[in-house]
Amino acid sequence: MIVGIVVYEISGYQEAIETMEYFQLWRDLENIFMPFLILGGQILSGGILALLLYPFYRVFIQNKRGWLMFFGLLLGLKVLFISVSIPATYGELIQQLQDSIMGLPEIIVQTLLFACLFFVWERRRINKENIKLNRLSNNVKE
Digit-coded pLDDT (tens) for 60-104: 988 989 999 999 998 888 776 655 556 667 777 777 777 667 777
Taking CA 102 as the corner, what is the angle to CA 6 and CA 73, rounded to the nearest 5 degrees? 90
CA 80 to chain centre: 13
Count of structural domains, the chain:
1
Cβ burial 53-91 (10 Å sphere, 16+ → b, else e): eeeeeeebbeeeebbeebbebbbeeeeeeeeeeeeeeee
pLDDT at 116: 92
d(CA 32, CA 43): 18
pLDDT at 118: 92
Q: What is the residue range of 106's domain? A: 2-141
Please report which helix (H) or strand (E) contains residue 139, including its range.
helix 104-141
**pLDDT tier at 29, thresholds 50, 70, 90:** low
